[in-house]
């Protein structure tokens, strides 16, 4: 069983939330308004989910929220370490904040999350960016109220990046982004140590929440009107291995499927090595589990897969994928691909292209390999030049875009049930929602449809999204 943060420690944090609230009251008396916080997330859904907790703690402490750093009294960047460009973006943002802080010296700047869990990064920030007030890593998230309070009292940067296998903190306040769908973490951390990946070093070891806790959270969400639940973990297929109770992810899905009020269940991410027949059966038999599977392949060559320490072969991967396709009608597939892993030669890359052609994914998330200090692959020299890697990347996208478009075109003329997310971010004249297969559908419609399930007739397909017409019920 994972270590749990005990109740006394959590109530100590509630006391700090009250202390912060008293500070916010003083601020209001002086400035005639509540202090405003800007919370920005870089990285994956786990980080988004953590930011929802940061917002929850800050809301309880009496902050309001804003989206412009020029208006913020507190800025929190929840950072990602998975690729260098994620880190560069944060460094760029920190540089801009320096100028803003010159004009607004009372502004408090906080960096947290995966990137700052790495000691060499924190050292660099302390040396070069003394305008940062507080730095805390992934394991200290629940301690934010105490750390923030201390940062207000300190003239120096407060740092808490203690390395740890990780614990579980339950019942941290949370302020969710949407009213109709929610992420629910089922486990934290990762034990897989893929050769390129920093996540196990910054997120600690795998630890599963108990099924009672997860099901209680889902029940409470459903009672609040949340109908779509996405179960989250770096490798949900390892769920339960560390629990006393005999339970695996397939069984957890079945239990979530029983909860009244839940209409759609999604989950990510599945590691192919642990993707089991039991899970395929649960997906096929649970009517609320969406016909959608994200199964990261990373590469198509067995040599590269072995060097990456992925622990499956191309053949095993395709066999599992085909089994899922045959048992789950209308299954939408997506994957992650890394191009330019150091040992990837041209003939290995060609195998990735043929994998995409054989698997016919609906969509892929593709990345150029990024060297991560402290990982085993960081010591390897690249076989291909950066130019070759970029050319390969572009060619792969061309191949995939055609497949994605073809798959989307097959939807034209179909009637699909979508859950409406709200206004489209790219085209304000359109509303947007998703099919059970996670396809984005844009359609002309009213904002009042947000959070509702409606039928749309698909009229047009693009590579990344569909367009449709709302079929009003008479
Ligand atoms: N736990 C998930 C993924 C977490 S990271 C899984 O195993 O699938 C998300 C994706 O980022 C990975 O699937 C991988 O494709 C990519 N990634 C991770 N480390 C990377 C690196 N060093 N360079 C480029 N891409 C990387
Ligand atoms: Fe990284 Fe591999 Fe763990 Fe995914 S399974 S988080 S890629 S180490
Ligand atoms: Fe996620 Fe990035 Fe951390 S991908 S787990 S936020 S390193």
Question: Is the CB of 44 within 6 Å of ligand 3?
Answer: yes
pLDDT at 474: 60
pLDDT at 419: 98
pLDDT at 398: 98
* 178-284 and 291-409, same CATH topology: yes
pLDDT at 145: 98
Name which CATH class applies to 178-284. Answer: alpha beta
Ligand 1 centre and the CA of 151: distance in Å? 33
- In order along its 474 residues, the chain shows pLDDT tens digits of 889 999 999 999 999 999 999 999 999 999 999 999 999 999 999 999 999 999 999 999 999 999 999 999 999 999 999 999 999 999 999 999 999 999 999 999 999 999 999 999 999 999 999 999 999 999 999 999 999 999 999 989 999 999 889 999 999 999 998 999 999 999 999 999 999 999 999 999 999 999 999 999 999 999 999 999 999 999 999 999 999 999 999 999 999 999 999 999 999 999 999 999 999 999 999 999 999 999 999 999 999 999 999 999 999 999 999 999 999 999 999 999 999 999 999 999 999 999 999 999 999 999 999 999 999 999 999 999 999 999 999 999 999 999 999 999 999 999 999 999 999 988 888 999 999 999 999 999 999 999 999 999 999 999 999 999 999 876
Closest ligand 3 atom to Cα of 82? 7
Protein residue closest via CA to atom 15 of ligand 1: 336
Protein residue closest via CA to atom 1 of ligand 3: 44
The strands making up 181-185's β-sheet, listed across from edge to edge, are: 181-185, 228-232, 264-268
Name which CATH class applies to 415-470. Answer: mainly beta
The answer to whether residues 405 and 429 touch, using CB atoms and an 8 Å cutoff, is: no
Which sequence spans correspond to the domains of the chain?
Answer: 7-160, 178-284, 291-409, 415-470
pLDDT at 333: 98
Residue in 296, 308, 363 to alter for ligand 1 test, most ligand atoms within 8 A of Cβ: 296
Ligand 1 centre and the CA of 194: distance in Å? 9
CATH classification code of 7-160: 3.40.50.280
Q: Is 153 exposed, middle or buried (0-12, 13-18, 19+ CB in 10 A)?
A: exposed
The answer to whether residues 388 and 419 touch, using CB atoms and an 8 Å cutoff, is: no
Which CATH fold topology does 291-409 show?
A: Transcription Regulator spoIIAA (3.30.750)
Protein residue closest via CA to atom 1 of ligand 2: 197
């Amino acid at each position: 069983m994972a270590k749990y943060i005990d109740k006394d420690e959590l109530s100590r944090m509630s006391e700090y939330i009250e202390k912060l609230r008293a500070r916010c009251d003083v601020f209001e008396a002086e400035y005639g308004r509540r202090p405003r916080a800007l919370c920005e997330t870089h990285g994956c859904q786990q980080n988004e989910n953590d930011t929802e907790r940061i917002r929850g703690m800050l809301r309880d402490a009496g902050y309001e929220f804003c989206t412009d750093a020029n208006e913020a009294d507190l800025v929190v960047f929840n950072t990602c370490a998975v690729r260098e460009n994620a880190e560069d973006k944060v460094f760029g943002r920190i540089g801009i904040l320096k100028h803003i802080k010159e004009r607004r010296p009372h502004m408090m700047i906080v960096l947290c999350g995966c990137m700052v869990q790495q000691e060499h990064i924190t050292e660099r920030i302390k040396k070069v960016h003394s305008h940062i007030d507080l730095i805390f890593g992934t394991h200290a998230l629940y301690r934010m109220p105490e750390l923030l309070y201390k940062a207000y009292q300190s003239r120096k940067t407060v740092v808490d990046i203690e390395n740890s296998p990780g614990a579980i903190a339950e019942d941290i306040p949370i302020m969710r982004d949407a009213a109709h769908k929610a992420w629910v973490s089922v486990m934290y951390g990762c034990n897989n140590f893929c050769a390129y990946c920093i996540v196990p070093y910054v997120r600690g070891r795998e630890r599963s929440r108990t099924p009672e806790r997860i099901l209680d959270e889902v029940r409470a969400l459903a009672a609040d009107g949340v109908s779509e639940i996405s179960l989250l973990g770096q490798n949900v297929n390892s769920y339960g291995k560390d629990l006393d109770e005999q339970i695996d992810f397939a069984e957890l899905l079945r239990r979530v499927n029983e909860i009244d009020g839940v209409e759609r269940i999604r989950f990510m991410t599945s590691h192919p090595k642990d993707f089991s027949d039991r899970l395929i059966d649960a997906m096929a038999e649970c009517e609320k589990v969406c016909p959608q599977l994200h199964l990261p392949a990373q590469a198509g060559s067995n040599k590269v897969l072995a060097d990456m320490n992925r622990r499956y072969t191309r053949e095993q991967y395709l066999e599992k994928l085909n089994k899922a396709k045959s048992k789950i009608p209308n299954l939408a597939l997506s994957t992650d691909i890394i191009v330019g892993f150091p040992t990837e030669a041209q003939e290995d890359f060609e195998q990735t292209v043929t994998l995409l052609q054989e698997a016919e994914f609906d969509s892929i998330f593709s990345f150029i390999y990024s060297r991560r200090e402290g990982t085993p692959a960081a010591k390897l020299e690249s076989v291909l030049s950066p130019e070759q890697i970029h050319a390969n990347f572009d060619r792969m996208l061309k191949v995939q875009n055609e497949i994605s478009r073809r798959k989307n075109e097959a939807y034209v003329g179909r009637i699909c049930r979508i859950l409406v997310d709200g206004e489209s971010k790219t085209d304000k004249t359109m509303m947007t929602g998703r099919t059970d297969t996670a396809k984005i559908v844009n359609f002309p419609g009213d904002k009042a449809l947000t959070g509702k399930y409606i039928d749309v007739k698909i009229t047009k397909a693009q590579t990344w999204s569909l367009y449709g017409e709302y079929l009003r019920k008479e």
